[in-house]
Every structure is written in C-alpha cells, then in structure tokens.
Structure 1
Amino acid sequence: MAERFDSLFAGISEESALQQIKLSASQLDNPVSKYMAATRLGACHSEESLQALIGCLNLTIDDLYERITRRKAIEALGRRRDTRALPHLLNCLIGEDEIAIIDAVDAIIKINGVLTPQQSNSLSEALDGSDNRKRVIIQAHTRLGLNNAVDAIRDLINHDNPLVSGAARSYFAKRHGETDLLPQLVEQLHSDAPGQRRAAVIDLGDSGDRKQVHNLIQCPVSMPLRAKSVLELIPELEYDKENAEERDLFRQLLIDDPNNLALKEEHTCPDSAEAIENYLQHRDEAKQYGAAKRLLTTTRETASRIIETLHEKLGSDYVIHYYLTMCAGLMALSEHEKLIVTSLHETIPQYTKSRVAATWGCLRLELSAEKNFLMELNDTARWVPLKWACRRVVEELS
C-alpha cells in the first residue's frame, strides 16, 4: 500500500508539499492540495517533513479540508514508522473525529513501537467507542502484545458485531492460547457478507494458530489478503524456512485456482461471456472467482476470445487484469503469452498481484526466456508473495 502511495504522489516534490502543508487550506487555490501534500510527505525521510506532519495533528477539525489533512497526516505518520510520532498519535485518541481516532490506532500498530504503561492505558481507555474503533483497538492489543485490557476485551467475545467478537477471539487465541474460541471465525469464512469473510481472514491471521492456514486459504476473498494472513502465521515463508506442507499450501494460495476455493452455489456464474464480464466486475470477490471458475470451464477457443475481448475493453481495471492473467496461465493459452509476459514486467503497484499470476503463467507456458528476469525480480521486488513465487518458478523452470 505504501508503495502505491509513493507512486501516485511522486510528481509532488517534497519542497512543494512542505510549502502547501504550512498554509491554511483557505489560502490555497485548490484546498485539496493540502491533504495531498500530507500524503506525499509520508514517503519522505527528512526531519522537516516529519515535524510538518506532526504539526498537522493540531489542525482544527471544523474545516473539512483541514480535518481531512489531519487524517492524512496521521496515516502518513503510520507509514513513516518513526517511534517519535507515538506520543502525538496517542493524543489523537481523544476528540470528536472518530475516523481520526481509528486512523491513529492503525498508525500506532504500523509503527509497532514499545509503549509505556501510561501509553498502553491510553490505548485501552479509548476502547469505548464505535464498533470500528473497538475492532482496531483490540487488534492493537493483539499485535502489540498488550495485556492491560483483558477483562474489557473478554466482555466483547460474544459481541453482536462479528467484526468486534472476531477480533476479541483472535486476541485471546494469540495472547492467551485460547484457540478453542476460533471455530466461530472459521464459520465466518463462509459468510454471505464479503466484509465478514475478509475480517475472519484477518482475525485468523492474527490468531497465531497455524492450523488455520488450511481454512483461510480456501476463503473467496482477495489473494493478497489471504497471503498476508498466512505470512503472519508462517513468517518463515519469507526465508524459505517453511516445511513441505506449508510450502504446498502457500503455493496453492498463490496459484489461486478458483476450483480450490470454497465457493457457494450463489457464486456460480452463468455460462455466457456477458455473465463472466458482469461477475468479474462485482464487488464481492466470491462472484469474481465464480466468473474465473466459469471461464476455466469453457473451451480453449472460447476462453481465449473472452480474455482478448475483456483485455481490450477492461484491461485497465487491475482487478479484472489479474483474473485474465491468472486464467490465461492456468489454461496455458500460448496465444496469450504476450499478456503474461507484459503482466510480469508491469511495474505499476496496482498490478503487482497480476505479476504473481504471470510468474505461474511462465511456468505453465515454459517461458524459460523469462528465467533471468524472474531471478532479478526476486532480488528487487518488495512484496514477499511475488518474491516467493519467483523463486519457486525459477526452481521449476531449471
């Protein structure tokens, strides 16, 4: 995500961003540029930019643009991961801007610094708020290893909102070994609500229970989200220190064949090019995977034609681009070698998961000419799933 922000706002210089952020929004020709400047400074490393972002935390929330700038500054400080920002972010836990409070907790999690007892208490005391606030503060206790709100979090295990109860269950599984609380989360992986499925994948990843990898890799949510949770549970994957079973499971996840996902009857896509196009554009990933599964059942000629048509029509949509690249690889459609190779070499951050699909496509099409590039990509890429896939494909192409 940080890489995406860096790319989007790279055209704004640090000097320009500093100038804009010091002015009130009302003084700017385009007040939007002030919060864009805050986002840009999240990719900088100078002391001046850090202090400018910290200064934004004192902005008034009465003005819309100043309020948004304050939120963007909070997010930017989380991306900077400088522990000196922690006291200032903790001060943001008090106030009327609920979104800013949630953003501040998320930033504190990202910084991952050691909190003093007083700071830990400040975090725990902010638990009494919206359900979204409850969820992120419980996540902070889980990920930062805090134990000063045990009773308050235990009271939330059976909360009506599964996003709150799920985070609470994950906390006790991770921090206190109570993995008997996780079956509800496993069941939630099959929810009809996409948001609840995504939350369950995140919470199982936070739970510390490696046995849950089998369950969460089959959940029809985005591959990167599942991969992130698996890496939380099996950090050894980053260094190829996983065991054989874990390697097989992660390989299955990254290949992302929709036939290996727990799709329901309502996710089944009708057998038509129009339906495939419509399902691929659905907001529910389960519907998208249903479209990909349907595409894989068509004849090679039909699949090739649909992929070509959709690539010309909707290929700039990075979600659809991923499924087209993935299906072309899974079906080993040599006529779409160009799609796979160009996907592999695409550097725009939004298309990173298409690069993962392209690595497996290189294997299926036996594109040995790309072996040196795959080795280079393993050395230069920042995203662990992409690096891992490159290493496996290089091994198998050898």
Structure 2
Amino acid sequence: MDKRFFNIFRLTEEQAIAIIDTPLDQLEDPSEKYIAVSHLINFPTEQSISALVRAIETSNPEELDERIVRRKAVESLGRLQAASALPVIQKCLQDDDIYTVENAVWTIGEIGVKEPEILEDVAQLLDKEGQIHRVIIHTLANADYKPALERVKKFTNAPDEPTRSAAIATVCRFTGDYSEISKVMALLQSTSINARRGCIQDLIDSRYYKAIPNIAKCPVSLVFRLRALRMLADAGVRNGEISFAEIQPSLEQVLWDNPQDLDLVHEYDVIPALNFAIEELYETDFGRCYLATKTLVEAYPQEAPAALMTTYADRAFNHYGAHYHVIKTLGWLKYAPAYELFTENLHNCEPQFQKSRGACAIALGELGDKRAIPELINCLKSPIWDLKYAVLISLEKLGDTTAKEIAANDPDWLIQTKATM
C-alpha cells in the first residue's frame, strides 16, 4: 500500500484521537474529524484502531457529517488491515448507507478475510438492491469465495460496465473457463474512464497475461498501466508463466507513453484550435489528454511550445495531470529551451508529480543533450522503479553505458534485468 499522501496534515496520533473523541458540534469545523480519521492511517497501533472503532460506534448515521466520518473510519481500518475490528466492520455490512457498506466490503477485502460466515454476509449483498456491486464481486473474487459463483453470474450482463467486467472476470477465475475474457478486454476501449480503469484491475486479478499488449495501449494514465504491467510481471516471471522478454516491449511502450502508440477512444471532427487543445491537457480523462497531446505535436509543432510554456507558468506547474502532459508534449516536440524545466522536475520529489519525473527522463533523452547524463544517473539512487527504468531508456538513447553497471546491482529485479539484458 502506497502511503506517501497520507501524512499531509502533520497531526500527532494523540491529537488525531483527541479530535475523534470530541463531539462534532464542539469542533470549529466538522471536517476536522474527517481529517483525523484519515490521518490515523499513519499510526498502526491499538490506540488508533480503538479510536476508529469508537468513531464508527458513536457516530449518528442520521447526520451527514457524522455519516461521512463513519465511512472514512471504516476505510482507515481497512488501510490498517485491522483484523481486531472485524466485528464492528461486519455490522457495517447491514448499514443503510450504501457507501458505508461499500467501504466495509472493501475493508474486509483489505484485511484478507477468509472466514466463510463473513464472506457469506458479503455475498448476500449481491441479492440486495441499490448496492455498489462491483466492490462486492471484487472482494469475493479475491477471497476465492466460490459459493458466490451463481450470484456473481447474474451480473455478467449488467448494464454498468465496471460491474459487468468484474463479474465476467470472476466467473472466468472461479470456473477456469476464460472464453468470455475477451468481453473484459473489449472494455479497454470503453468511452467510460471508470470502465477502462476497472477492467485493467480485473485483468490483473485474473492474471491474464495475454492482455498485456492491450493494456499497454489503453488510453488511461500510465500509472494504471504501469501498475498492471508491474504486477503481472512480478507474478508471471516469478511463477514461470511469462518471461521478461515477453513483457519488455509493452512495458517500455508504456514508459515511453507516446500517444501514437495508444488506441485512442476519443476523436475530433475537425482539428481544434490551439487554445482548446491546451485546455484539454487539464482533463481528468487522460484519453482526452492524449488526443490533445497528439494533436499539438502533429498540428501545431511550431506554435505549441510557446503555448505549453505559458500554460505551465500559469497553471500546469501546480496541476499534476497537466504538468505531466506539458512535459511529455515538449519532449515529443524536442523543444531544447525546456531543458532546464526538464532537469528541475526530474528531481521534483513532491509525490503528486512522481510520474512527471519519468516524463522528464524520457524528454531529456528526446532532446539528445548529453549534459543530462549526470542528472539522469543521479536518479538511479531513487527507490522509484519506473523512474529508474525510464532513466535507463534515455541513457541508452544518449549513448551512455556506465549506468548499467550501477543498475546491475539494483535491489529491484526488474531494473537489474533491464541493465543486464
């Protein structure tokens, strides 16, 4: 579990617990209690777990602010994998608030519950109207609770694409018959960003290695694709089900992340104005961002660099999505004046800009400026595997071979393998 973003409130454990134990009407801002239950993820202690349980048991579900705190407390118990809190979490499965139920189901999955009586309580929710069925199916699948098979089958034709994807993938896993998995893969080209993301997770859980090239071309953030390929590589190579050589082309294609390599699901009727394409870089659906990037490179190779530098200075410097796409596009345009921008952000350690560091590594390789070699080699000290891999790709492009000696001793098997291939 990646916890880099959880420690932003600077509360001590004692301060957070004190806020949780303060009645909501005595706090200056109701959001303080929400922050406190969120923050206890940083303290895996019995005191924190007990405080989160109290937050659930003493909340008034009739009050919206308290209901929101209750939901978050259930989630935090899942992030702490607090098995001792299972009795209260199990009770939450009967809650009238569907989001509390959703979080309770997710938490049971995070804890790794195998007790049939608890999993049956989860499975019975599939017969209950109005529930968020995808998370229920996903939890049952990961717990390998096969008594739920017939109930899951009912959702293989669900109108909701993420739910349908989870159901089909789970039936494939439970029965060993993968003849219908193509219906999950087809959702990699859905116009719904949630469906595209969801089916990637389902393909990971199914260990369906044949989907790797298709996942690599799916127009979602490279974070989702890299996570998928890394998890499939770790499992498949370890078990001898796939080789590094088989996954390498797709992995490097994702790290390269050129929109020309993606199967885009959006299109323009006519080439849009430059300003419109720039604004599209701020969209939450990366499929639209990639289409805009492709358009900027192909339709506005002369005008785009100045517009990109302007939008970076105005807004993108603080917008993690646009930040990434501006850097990538400037790299594809081989815009040499952006060299300082690339080297500065190559070492940007703010967690929300992590993927931009890999983008900078690739962009520096595109510029072909050998001054970047020492800057790139320095990044091999990072614990971030995808940054190091991107660095190795760019150093190859810049003609450097010394970095391979460093990377050959890296603790990450994937970096070692790349360096010694």
RMSD: 2.5
SS of the equivalent of 2:214 reads: helix
Q: Deviations over 1:186-205 (max 9, x none)?
A: 22222223332222222222
Counterpart contact for 2:312–2:326, Cα < 8 Å: yes
CA drift of 1:73 comes to 0.9
> One-letter code of the match for 2:8?
L
Q: Which residue of 1 aligns with 2:251?
A: 250
TM-score by length of 1: 0.90
- Residue 6 of structure 1: aligned partner: 6
On the 8 A contact 1:236/1:242 being kept in 2, the answer is no
**Alignment partner of 1:143 is 2:123:** no
Output the CA distance in 2 between the equivalents of 1:267 and 1:358. Answer: 28
Q: Any idea what SS the aligned residue of 1:270 has?
A: coil
Give yes or no for contact 2:346–2:358 (8 Å, CA) kept in 1.
yes
CA offsets 1:138-176 (integer angstroms, 9 cap, x no match): 101222222120111122212232222211111122333
Query: Does the CA-based 8 Å contact 1:131-1:161 persist in structure 2?
Result: no
Aligned AA for 1:34? Answer: K
Q: What are structure 1's unaligned runs of at least 5 residues?
A: none
Out of 346, 352, 364, the position equivalent to 1:350 is 352
Code of the aligned partner of 2:252: R
| Cα deviation 1:15-37 (Å, max 9, x = unaligned) | 21111001111121222101111
**C-alpha distance in structure 2 between counterparts of 1:342 and 1:148, whole Å:** 54
- Shift in Å, 1:247: 1.2
Determine the structure 2 residue equivalent to 1:156: 155
- Confirm or deny: 8 A CA contact 1:263 1:290 kept in the other structure: yes
- Structure 2: which 5+ residue stretches go unaligned? 402-421
Instruction: Give the equivalent residue in structure 2 for 1:128.
Output: 127
Q: Please name the residue that 1:362 is paired with.
A: 364
Determine which structure has greater relative contact order: mean sequence separation of CA pairs < 8 Å that are 6+ residues apart, divided by chain length: 1
Q: Is the 8 A contact 1:375 1:394 kept in 2?
A: no
Partner Cα separation in structure 1 for residue 291 and residue 131 of structure 2: 30
Aligned residue type for 2:158 = H
CA distance in structure 1 between the partners assigned to 2:337 and 2:129 by the alignment: 52
Give the 5 Å matches for 1:165-314: 165-236=164-235, 242-264=243-265, 266-267=267-268, 270-298=271-299, 301-314=302-315
How many Å separate the matches in 1 of 2:319 and 2:282? 9
Query: d(CA) in 2 for partners of 1:337 and 1:237?
Result: 38
CA distance in 2, matches of 1:237, 1:292: 33
| Separation (CA, whole Å) in 1 of partners of 2:194 and 2:166 | 14
8 Å contact kept, 1:43–1:79? no
Count of residues in Structure 1 that have an aligned counterpart in Structure 2: 391
Q: What secondary structure sits across from 2:6 in the alignment?
A: helix
Structure-2 residue corresponding to 1:50: 49
With 182-191 and 304-313 compared, the bigger mean Cα shift is at 182-191
Whether contact under 8 Å (1:267, 1:287) holds in the other structure is: no
CA contact (8 A) 2:188 2:218 kept: yes
How many Å separate the matches in 2 of 1:178 and 1:376?
A: 44
Distance between the aligned counterparts of 1:163 and 1:233, measured in 2?
A: 20
Q: Which amino acid aligns with 2:49?
A: L
Contact 1:216 1:226 in 2 (8 A): yes
Report 1:81-100 matches (<5 A): 81-100=81-100
After superposition, the Cα gap between the structure-2 partners of 1:46 and 1:393, relative to the gap in structure 1 and judged at 3 Å, is farther
What is the letter of the counterpart of residue 78 of structure 1? Answer: G
Residues in 1 aligned to 2:129 and 2:250: alpha-carbon distance in whole angstroms? 37
Q: String of CA shifts for 1:324-362, please: whole Å, max 9, x gaps.
A: 111223333221112222222122221111122122223
1:130 is displaced (CA, Å) by: 5.2
Q: Report the counterpart of residue 410 of structure 2 in structure 1.
A: none
**Change beyond 3 A, Cα 1:132–1:190:** farther
Offset at residue 4 of structure 1 (A): 4.8
| Number of the residue aligned with 2:64 | 64
Q: What amino acid is the match of 1:343?
A: N
TM-score, normalisation: structure 2: 0.85
CA–CA distance in structure 2, aligned partners of residues 17 and 126 of structure 1:
33
Task: Tell me if the contact between 2:191 and 2:266 (Cα under 8 Å) persists in the aligned partners.
Answer: no
> What is the alpha-carbon distance in structure 2 between the residues aligned to residue 26 and residue 135 of structure 1?
35
Q: Counterparts of 1:269 and 1:395 in 2: how far apart (Å)?
A: 38
Of 124-133 and 88-97, the range deviating more from structure 2: 124-133
